[in-house]
């Protein structure tokens, strides 16, 4: 097969589904205390971060994931000044948070310092200076433990953990117990957002269980999704709070708040995008309505 | 790798991207006058139709594609009585059309009789009796030629062709010339819809060129998209007409029309879905705004 | 990639090496008490038997493996009348044994009756009537246990087990203890042969450990190898006995014995082949000379 | 699939057979005037040279291919002083030639200087100083043209071309016309050797056509083969001359000549290896006996 690509990265999205993309270079390979780390270059996605064999973000579409995770909650909040980010070692979540002029302090906690260092060296566009911003506090700690012990209260908490539903300490941040505890760490009017895994039908729905579990702690839970091509389909997220419903914001209101508050142009998120991502397709709403699973410490949910 | 699946179907989505899914059976393999035909069974997607090595539809998610192609245009039209379907040999597009009580006549034209026969035998749930419906007229002709010669005028025309943007006669149905000619085949108030290929960033945007070309013939063109997992990401569509804007319909209006007009439960499409699929993410709107390509007979657009 | 094959079987030969071949049909899929069983059809290898995801034999080259396993030991023995086959459920080893006119009784012991049945139905060329031969006794037992309990003594014992060096009861037939016990089951002048896994450098050498272990029980051990394309490279075997050295046979002597004793034409084995397969390449002899591993019940050897 | 390799090189060995091996690094990627060039690193094969998507040699098993190509002809010749190498840009064929103490002059002609340079930089163990040896003359020319024009006569000519049977100028060195012309370039008693492609049954036999074509020019043609794991199976070669039959050499004679003439230890080739590689399995001899193809300028033979 003349002219065909010969070097490929491949990932089991499910035991029955593989995606492969061609690679042009292997920029870094290493093993941290917590996981294997790779940086690959590819014609289709640009430079990619791979942790434990799973793609975490790609140069060409990381803006979708990171804007989707950060801006809906930040825009829905009336004036986010203190923000907590759990995970997100690449720095791109922090980068989006700091684009909000209202932010005075952003605390980011990630256990794996090596991911932070590798990304700063090989994928500097991800943090784009965020770690050098005077408002940033970067801690190498277990996020759970930090939240239990800190006296701080946050306007916005963002959970940006890889593979939340696999075995490993991260699963605890997806339990009923954690969400209930989190209520006390939120300042009055505080809100949170998280990523909740794939919503493609080819993958078993951890998504709906996460949403249901969130609802045991928060009055107002707004699930949303968008396609992240490097993740092999649509990806689920949620904004949760005591009483703010982000779906009430009209496209014009969203665009107005972006213009007023955000200091850089956004590529993915605006008012129309906002309306689209919160309008889930019917089959997913049906699935969510029938799911009765609640994730707890003792009954965690591990997906593939 | 004990317990790993051993038999896989694989498809080059682009030269740089492959998707593979495991298969449990090969139900049919043949070669028609026009293309190779396969029916596979798989744990992840159920039974699948493969034409020329490309997946056309899967048991588990074909409802998304077919409801997305048919219902937005049918619901936007005030009262569709005569419908023309170009392609769609599987019969599922016809099945969705016939679910509208207003339909009196549905003409479907597909060149490849063998696809029709193979689907009726091996994938009967696709047509689900549609070919036996008294309102159906099934013709084995070139759709283009039929439209040039028929005296009939249609309320709705639906273009359901595989791989429209590859070499082959189908490409003519994606040109400016065709769309302009089509205007004369539409009854007063007539509308059309089509599928326009992938909108995932990993694939070069034929989508935006199709939309732009549609706009050379139709005043009102409403692009939309949704994820079809078996196609490896989000898929683009459009509704076009002289003066009906489907995005003006509120979720409640859509739900009202469905309740009134559609004789079976829908799984994908309803008012909220309608709102979501027409709200394209910003990066795609940006891409579309900057695309200046017009597809003509002499300057066709062939994507991978 | 137009015209490319879309359906593929793949097998991890090692964790770092995969072979894939295209398949045209899945003729059988099932699960016996002991293993998963598949029969596939393929353009490159014809019909193939797959056990636990590993190819066991293919229509196009099974003659190489089965002639290589059976004839060197049978020809080296002066007059084999009673033969024992451990494993070999496909029936092709038995088929080759029965081609020797001297054989009066062939006892074959295989635990998995379902493999025998599936092969008789879907791959009848493998046994080619061997199970209906009056000289055959087919027992569904554990080969080890049978040998411990039988009063019979055999002129030739052939060990034809799949994946001998993986966890499972078969590994016991590759231990020092088994080989020593086997001496008592051999009639005077008795000999044995076995397959001993890949000898390709891409795979860790279980082969040399098996040879060394055989030497703890038998005075005369003659390793040999040949390429079996479906197995992804060269495959190792050995003939062992108290005092018969098969490498002493000249090509002419081998051809003479074949002409005299074998009732059907052979495709792989003759005098020149005999000379070739016992002449191992130097790097393999070097490897074998330096290997000190002895396989015992308590220190089994499990390769990938 | 935790712990599974994620980055793979793959190569279509035939349209129905793919081999994949995992890669740990991409050391070089470039495009010369003649072909694409890659240097990969891999756990299973070490560093590998890839030309036009096909593996040319690997660190772990290149010694097999290069010793097999060079030593049988060099040892069969009574005293090789002048040697010509066509192709072989990696330098390893030259390396083996220069290990013969009798050699006074070695002319190597390879069109693609970039392959030579890339190998010297990234794979220096291949030439191992051969290009700096005072006996070496390296020319960047078309080998065919050089042989037509030179006045020199050689004791040994070695054809080491990649993919001889594909379209490209190299195919001319596999024709009847070339072999006949070559006779005049050989010194009295002169001999030649070449590689002739795969002899695995999974690949169509160009091998037997090459052998038959050689026989139109040379009285004495001795085909042989050995497994080269990185090439996916056994590989064919031949020694040809007017009247020297290398198969007449006993293992002891071969070992004696090696001891006397070769200045470094060999890993693959010795007397027993010699006996083994010239003893082809019966099915290949049968295939060769029935092949009537003669390769000519006008009727070239292109395999996959």
Q: What is the pLDDT of residue B200?
A: 85
Query: Checking phi first, is residue B29 left (phi over 0); if not, alpha (psi -120 to 50) or beta?
Result: beta
Tokens of A86: 């759990």
Q: What is the pLDDT of residue A200?
A: 84
Instruction: List all residues of chain B from 24 to 53 with a beta carbon under 8 Å from chain C.
Output: 24-26, 29, 38, 40, 50, 52-53
Q: Which residue among C58, C81, C98 closes a domain?
A: C58
Per CB-CB distance under 8 Å, the chain B contacts of A270 are: 282
Residue of chain A whose Cα is closest to the Cα of D54? A6
Q: What is the pLDDT of residue B109?
A: 95
What's chain A's Rg over C-alpha atoms?
Answer: 18
Instruction: Count chain C–chain D contacts defined by CB atoms under 8 A.
Output: 140
How many domains does chain B fold into?
A: 2
Q: Where are the beta strands (DSSP E) in chain A?
A: 7-14, 17-22, 25-31, 36-42, 46-51, 54-58, 82-87, 105-109, 136-139, 154-160, 186-198, 220-228, 233-241
Higher pLDDT, D171 or B291: B291
Q: What is the pLDDT of residue B219?
A: 96
pLDDT class for C242, splitting at 50, 70, 90? Answer: very high
Domain CATH code at residue B26: 2.30.140.10
CA distance D5 to chain C (A): 7
Checking if the pLDDT of C291 tops 90, the result is: no
Residue A4 at interface with chain C, using a CB cutoff of 8 Å: yes
Residue C231 at interface with chain D, using a CB cutoff of 8 Å: no
Domain CATH code at residue A268: 3.40.50.150
Higher pLDDT, B299 or B91: B91
Residue of chain D whose Cα is closest to the Cα of A304? D1
Interface test with A, best of B11, B198, B276 (most A CBs within 10 A): B276
- For C6, which of B4, B25, B50 is closest by C-beta distance? B50
Does residue C299 form part of some domain? no
| Among the listed residues D136, D129, D62, D131, the one whose alpha carbon sits nearest the alpha carbon of residue D105 | D136
Does residue C284 form part of some domain? yes
CA angle D171, D175, D177 (to 5 degrees): 130
- For B9, which of C7, C29, C40 is closest by C-beta distance? C7
What's chain D's Rg over C-alpha atoms?
Answer: 18
Which chains, if any, share at least 3 CB pairs under 8 A with chain C?
A, B, D
Interchain CB distance below 8 Å, D281 and C276: yes
Interface test with D, best of A7, A13, A42 (most D CBs within 10 A): A7
Mean pLDDT of chain D: 92
What are phi and psi for residue A174, nearest 5 degrees? -120, 25
Does residue D302 form part of some domain? no
Catalytic residue, from D160, D252, D270, D298: name it: D160
Checking if the pLDDT of D164 tops 60, the result is: no
Q: What is the pLDDT of residue D167?
A: 56
Query: Do D161 and D244 reside in the same domain of the chain?
Result: yes
CA distance A287 to chain B (A): 11
| Among the listed residues A216, A220, A213, A205, the one whose alpha carbon sits nearest the alpha carbon of residue A285 | A205
Instruction: Count chain B–chain D contacts defined by CB atoms under 8 A.
Output: 3
* Gap between the Cα atoms of B159 and A149, Å rounded: 61
With beta carbons less than 8 A apart as the criterion, state whether D225 and D239 touch.
no
Query: Do C150 and C48 reside in the same domain of the chain?
Result: no
Q: What is the pTM of this model?
A: 0.93
Per CB-CB distance under 8 Å, the chain D contacts of C200 are: 227, 229
Per CB-CB distance under 8 Å, the chain A contacts of D53 are: 1-4, 6
ipTM: 0.95
Query: Do C168 and C43 reside in the same domain of the chain?
Result: no
Residue B289 at interface with chain A, using a CB cutoff of 8 Å: no
Q: How far out from the chain centre does Cα C8 lie?
A: 26
Query: Do A177 and A273 reside in the same domain of the chain?
Result: yes
Query: Do C193 and C254 reside in the same domain of the chain?
Result: yes
pLDDT class for A299, splitting at 50, 70, 90? Answer: confident
- For A9, which of D2, D7, D53 is closest by C-beta distance? D7
* Gap between the Cα atoms of B217 and D166, Å rounded: 50
pLDDT class for B203, splitting at 50, 70, 90? Answer: low
Q: How far out from the chain centre does Cα A28 lie?
A: 23
Query: Do B100 and B53 reside in the same domain of the chain?
Result: no
Residue of chain B whose Cα is closest to the Cα of A282? B268
pLDDT digits (tens, 9 = 90+) for C248-276: 999 999 999 999 999 999 999 999 999 99
Checking if the pLDDT of C202 tops 60, the result is: no
Query: Do A75 and A223 reside in the same domain of the chain?
Result: yes
pLDDT digits (tens, 9 = 90+) for B24-68: 999 999 999 989 999 999 999 999 999 999 999 999 999 999 999
CA quadruple D166, D172, D175, D180: dihedral, nearest 10:
-160
Higher pLDDT, C84 or D164: C84
Q: What is the pLDDT of residue B80?
A: 98
What's chain B's Rg over C-alpha atoms?
Answer: 18
- For D19, which of C19, C272, C279 is closest by C-beta distance? C19
* Gap between the Cα atoms of B24 and B42, Å rounded: 5
Does residue A299 form part of some domain? no
pLDDT class for A165, splitting at 50, 70, 90? Answer: low
Print the domain residue range for B16: 8-58
* Gap between the Cα atoms of B12 and A256, Å rounded: 42
With beta carbons less than 8 A apart as the criterion, state whether B118 and B124 touch.
no
| Among the listed residues C121, A75, C122, A226, the one whose alpha carbon sits nearest the alpha carbon of residue B277 | A226
* Gap between the Cα atoms of D161 and D195, Å rounded: 8
- For D6, which of A4, A6, A11 is closest by C-beta distance? A11
Per CB-CB distance under 8 Å, the chain C contacts of D280 are: 272-273, 276
Q: What is the pLDDT of residue C167?
A: 56
Per CB-CB distance under 8 Å, the chain B contacts of C12 are: 1, 4
Query: Do B30 and B133 reside in the same domain of the chain?
Result: no
Interchain CB distance below 8 Å, A277 and B282: no
Q: What is the pLDDT of residue B204?
A: 57
For residue D191, what are the β-bridge partners? D156, D241
Interchain CB distance below 8 Å, B7 and C7: yes
Beta carbons within 8 Å of B142's beta carbon, 6+ residues apart: B109, B111, B169
Mean pLDDT of chain B: 92
Does residue B144 form part of some domain? yes
Q: What is the pLDDT of residue B165?
A: 52
With beta carbons less than 8 A apart as the criterion, state whether B192 and B80 touch.
no
Residue B202 at interface with chain A, using a CB cutoff of 8 Å: yes
Give the orientation angle of helix C62-76 with respect to helix C251-261, to 10 degrees.
100
Residue D5 at interface with chain C, using a CB cutoff of 8 Å: yes
| Among the listed residues C10, C11, C32, the one whose alpha carbon sits nearest the alpha carbon of residue C118 | C32
Checking if the pLDDT of B163 tops 80, the result is: no
Q: What is the pLDDT of residue B172?
A: 80
Q: In sequence order, what DSSP letters do the residues of C186-248 get, joined into one string?
A: EEEEEEEEEEEEE-STTS--SHHHHHHHHTTT-SEEEEEEEEEGGGTEEEEEEEEESS--GGG
Query: Do D219 and D193 reside in the same domain of the chain?
Result: yes
| Among the listed residues B52, B20, B8, the one whose alpha carbon sits nearest the alpha carbon of residue B304 | B52
Q: What is the pLDDT of residue B205?
A: 67
Does residue D2 form part of some domain? no
Q: Which residue among D25, D40, D56 closes a domain?
A: D56
In this predicted structure, which of A238-242, C26-30, D145-149 has the lowest mean pLDDT? D145-149
Across the range C144-149, mean pLDDT stands at 89
Catalytic residue, from B61, B110, B155, B160: name it: B160
Pairing of strands B233-241, B220-228: antiparallel
Does residue A2 form part of some domain? no
pLDDT class for D166, splitting at 50, 70, 90? Answer: low
In this predicted structure, which of A23-32, A186-195, D201-210 has the lowest mean pLDDT? D201-210
Residue C4 at interface with chain A, using a CB cutoff of 8 Å: yes
Does residue C70 form part of some domain? yes
Residue D1 at interface with chain A, using a CB cutoff of 8 Å: yes
CA distance C20 to chain B (A): 9
Query: Do B67 and B43 reside in the same domain of the chain?
Result: no
Query: Do A36 and A109 reside in the same domain of the chain?
Result: no
Checking if the pLDDT of D169 tops 70, the result is: no
For residue C224, what are the β-bridge partners? C237
Per CB-CB distance under 8 Å, the chain D contacts of B1 are: 1, 4
Query: Do C173 and C54 reside in the same domain of the chain?
Result: no
Across the range B133-141, mean pLDDT stands at 96
For residue C223, what are the β-bridge partners? C238
* Gap between the Cα atoms of C74 and C156, Å rounded: 7
Residue D1 at interface with chain B, using a CB cutoff of 8 Å: yes
Per CB-CB distance under 8 Å, the chain A contacts of D10 are: 6, 8
Across the range A172-200, mean pLDDT stands at 92
Tokens of C147: 């040998």
- For B8, which of C2, C10, C40 is closest by C-beta distance? C10
CA distance B297 to chain D (A): 35
Across the range A252-267, mean pLDDT stands at 98
Higher pLDDT, B169 or D106: D106
CA distance D14 to chain A (A): 9
Q: What is the pLDDT of residue B114?
A: 95
CA distance A4 to chain C (A): 9
CA angle C221, C225, C230 (to 5 degrees): 140
Q: What is the pLDDT of residue C23?
A: 97
pLDDT digits (tens, 9 = 90+) for D246-275: 999 999 999 999 999 999 999 999 999 999
Q: How far out from the chain centre does Cα C284 lie?
A: 20
* Gap between the Cα atoms of C62 and B258, Å rounded: 61
| Among the listed residues D70, D285, D87, the one whose alpha carbon sits nearest the alpha carbon of residue D199 | D285
* Gap between the Cα atoms of A47 and A58, Å rounded: 6
Q: Which residue among D56, D71, D86 closes a domain?
A: D56
Interchain CB distance below 8 Å, B8 and C11: no
Per CB-CB distance under 8 Å, the chain B contacts of D4 are: 1
């Amino acid at each position: 097969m003349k002219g065909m690509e010969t070097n490929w990265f491949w990932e089991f999205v499910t035991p029955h589904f593989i995606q492969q993309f061609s690679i042009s270079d292997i920029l870094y390979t290493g093993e941290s205390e917590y996981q294997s780390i790779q940086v690959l270059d590819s014609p289709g996605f640009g430079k990619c971060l791979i942790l434990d064999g799973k793609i975490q973000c790609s140069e060409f579409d990381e803006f979708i994931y990171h804007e989707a995770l950060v801006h809906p909650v930040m825009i829905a909040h009336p004036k986010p000044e203190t923000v907590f980010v759990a995970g997100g070692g690449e720095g791109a979540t922090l980068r989006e948070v700091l684009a909000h002029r209202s932010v005075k302090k952003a605390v980011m906690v990630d256990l794996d310092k090596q991911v932070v260092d590798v990304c700063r060296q090989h994928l500097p566009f991800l943090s784009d200076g965020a770690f050098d911003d005077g408002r940033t506090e970067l801690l190498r700690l277990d996020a759970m433990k930090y939240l239990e012990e800190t006296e701080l209260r946050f306007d916005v908490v963002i959970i940006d953990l890889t593979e939340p539903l696999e075995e490993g300490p991260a699963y605890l941040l997806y339990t009923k117990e954690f969400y209930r505890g989190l209520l006390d760490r939120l300042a009055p009017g505080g809100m949170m957002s998280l990523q909740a895994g794939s919503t493609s039908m080819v993958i078993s729905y951890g998504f709906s269980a996460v949403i249901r579990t969130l609802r045991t702690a928060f009055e107002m839970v707004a699930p949303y999704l968008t396609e992240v091509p490097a993740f092999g389909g649509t990806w689920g997220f949620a904004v949760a709070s005591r009483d703010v419903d982000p779906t009430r914001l009209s496209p014009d209101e969203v665009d107005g708040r972006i213009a007023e508050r955000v200091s850089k142009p956004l590529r993915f998120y605006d008012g129309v995008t906002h309306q689209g991502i919160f309008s889930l397709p019917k089959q997913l709403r049906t699935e969510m309505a029938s799911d009765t699973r609640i994730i707890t410490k003792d009954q965690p949910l591990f997906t593939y």
